[in-house]
Amino acid sequence: MDSSTSTSATDARKTEASAKSQETLTVTDNRTGKSYELPITHGTIRAADLRKIKVNDADFGMMSYDPAFNNTASCISRVTYIDGDAGILRYRGYPIEDLAEKSTYLETAYLLLNGELPNAEQLKDWTYHITHHTFIHESIKKFLDGFHYDAHPMGMLISTIAALSTYYHDSKDIFSKESRQKQTYRLIGKMPTIAAFSYRHSLGMPFVYPDNELSYPGNFLNMLFRTTETRYRANPTLEHALDVLFILHADDEQNCSANTIRGVGSSHVDPYSATAAAIAALYGPLHGGANEEVVRMLMEIGSVQKVPDFIKRVKAGETKLMGFGHRVYKNYDPRARIIKKVAYEVFDLMGKNPLLEIALECERIALEDDYFVKRKLYPNVDFYTGLIYQSMGFPTTMFPVLFAIPRTSGWIAQWEEMLLDPEQKIARPRQIYLGEDTRHYVPIDQRR
């Protein structure tokens, strides 16, 4: 080795060492005057390292307070990447735009769960297994029949998915790879069947059984809409639109329902119960229930002329512009851009949704208005999906169900990653207790 190489290697080592020593955060506690050096890894300090910061030995140590996890990483993940400021969403490194254009939902689900795109043989095998797990036990039909005719399909979906755990006892074996694989086939396979049966029940129509010859979205549309046809074939434009929407909804990193499946799953409950909890989280109007609320809001506004008045009410804090805003996307939700394109494909076929003009006017005003610009509020994935679903013939109550079906693959990917992460334990946040100090029980006749 010549001396110049050796010198530069030493310099490099020195630079590396000095860079390493700078990868720390020095904190001075002004209560005690003591300083602490906390390691920084991936731009993050470990909350547990704050515990060293104490006023005395009896002190519990410093905690961080972060209601709603605004600035707390709860896990290390390799599934989905979002850069909210740049409007980037990637599944396992692949840009959402690429997947929406070139992939299918089932292939994307494989990618999310396995980390790599499948080869031809793997995709065939995966598709075969999902397709051959679409039937549900006949007694689940009786269970669905027990719901009131106007039951919300999300309530039916939550309960029925939870009920699957009573059929598949092997699902408790969560640390067996084979068992997890089997439950994954079942969950992804049966979700559209249960969703479609819930819809048919609400109409009082007979259930349509899965057709193994059809694609994943094609079979779903068949189970929803088939009436007297011997074989139902969905319109290819609608089938494709639904598949793209499924891809866009497959995962969204640590959102409310992903955090739920991780939290509930951390108690080592079976995946059906954990997925039911995630669907419940999705049901809320601030999360997956927003698509339903957007259409209700647009109907309530009623006409383009009334949009400015409605925006005034939003700015006065009387109501929210549903389908706007996102915890992470502070530029533009990249999914909303793709969805707008899909919307026009569907409208070209089915006719323009009369609510579209109102939505466009809301978007136009909001994107120019200081209130929304300052707060970085942009249309999210739910702003246009409702209009597409409505044009495709879905009732509003089915909109969040259409979100839950594809999100199942993301949930299972997040759940499995949590289970196999040696650093994860049962989720158990701390609290700041500001309630009463010890009090003594007062007999009822002595209470004021």
Catalytic residues: 287, 326, 382
> Applying CB under 6 A, which of residues 220, 272, 283, 324 lies at the interface with ligand ACO?
324
Asked whether 400 and 154 are in contact (CB, 8 A), the reply is: yes
Q: Site for ligand ACO (CB under 6 A): which residue of 263, 265, 271, 325?
A: 325
250 class by beta-carbon count within 10 Å (0-12 exposed, 13-18 middle, 19+ buried): buried
Nearest-angstrom CA–CA distance, 160 and 163: 5
Q: Which is nearer to ligand ACO, 223 or 280 (CB)?
A: 280
Choose the binding region for ligand ACO from 23-31, 230-238, 337-345, 374-382 (rule: CB under 6 A). 374-382
Question: Least Å distance between CB 276 and ligand ACO?
Answer: 18
Minimum CB separation of residue 117 from ligand ACO in Å reads 25
As given in the structure block, the two tokens for residue 425 are 């334990």
Q: Which long-range contacts (CB under 8 A, 24 or more apart) does 132-138 make?
A: 132/185, 132/189, 132/212, 133/185, 133/186, 133/188, 133/189, 133/190, 134/189, 134/190, 134/192, 134/193, 134/210, 134/212, 134/219, 135/190, 135/193, 135/209, 135/210, 136/190, 136/193, 136/194, 136/197, 137/167
Q: Residue 213 has what DSSP assignment?
A: T
If one asks whether residue 217 binds ligand ACO (CB under 6 A), the answer comes out as no
- 322 touches ligand ACO (CB under 6 A): yes
The DSSP result for 166-191, as a single string, is: TT-GGGG-TT-HHHHHHHHHHHHHHH
Contact at 8 Å (CB) between 418 and 266?
yes
Note whether 330 binds ligand ACO by CB under 6 A.
Answer: no
Residue 113 is a binding residue for ligand ACO (CB under 6 A): no
CB under 6 A: which stretch of 8-16, 176-184, 236-244, 320-328 binds ligand ACO?
A: 320-328
Q: How far is the CB of 252 from ligand ACO (least distance, A)?
A: 6
* Binding pattern for the stretch 272-291 against ligand ACO, x by CB under 6 A and - elsewhere: --------------xxx-x-
Nearer to ligand ACO by Cβ, of 200 and 335: the residue is 335
115: left (phi over 0), alpha (psi -120 to 50) or beta: left
Angle at 382 (CA atoms; ends 419, 367), nearest 5 degrees: 125
Q: Which of 54, 137, 172, 327 binds ligand ACO (CB under 6 A)?
A: 327
Alpha-carbon dihedral 50, 54, 58, 61, rounded to 10 degrees: -20
Identify the three-state secondary structure at position 87. coil
Whether 372 contacts 213, CB under 8 Å? no
Interface with ligand ACO, residue 323, by CB under 6 A: yes
Window 41-80: residues binding ligand ACO (CB under 6 A)? none
Q: How far is the CB of 188 from ligand ACO (least distance, A)?
A: 20
Return d(Cα 225, Cα 211) in angstroms, integer. Answer: 13
136, 343, 359, 377: which one contacts ligand ACO (CB under 6 A)? 377
- Rule CB under 6 A: choose which of 129, 320, 340, 352 binds ligand ACO: 320
Binding test (CB under 6 A) with ligand ACO, winner from 154, 314, 342, 404: 314
Among 107, 239, 253, 382, indicate the residue that binds ligand ACO (CB under 6 A): 382
Shortest Å distance, C-beta 293 to ligand ACO: 7
**Is position 264 an interface residue for ligand ACO (rule: CB under 6 A)?**
no
Q: How far is the CB of 78 from ligand ACO (least distance, A)?
A: 22
Alpha helices in 316-439 (DSSP H): 334-350, 356-368, 370-374, 382-391, 399-420
Query: Rounded CA gap, 81 and 75, in Å?
Result: 13
Restricting to residues 228-257, which ones interact with ligand ACO according to CB under 6 A? 255
| Phi, psi (rounded to 5 degrees) for 104 | -120, 165
Nearer to ligand ACO, 184 or 255 (CB): 255
Please say whether the beta carbons of 38 and 27 come within 8 A.
yes
Give 265 or 325: the residue with its C-beta nearer to ligand ACO: 325
Q: Does 379 bind ligand ACO (CB under 6 A)?
A: no
- Minimum distance of ligand ACO from residue 161's CB (angstroms): 19
Q: Which residues bind ligand ACO (CB under 6 A)?
A: 255, 286-288, 290, 314, 320-327, 375, 377, 380-382
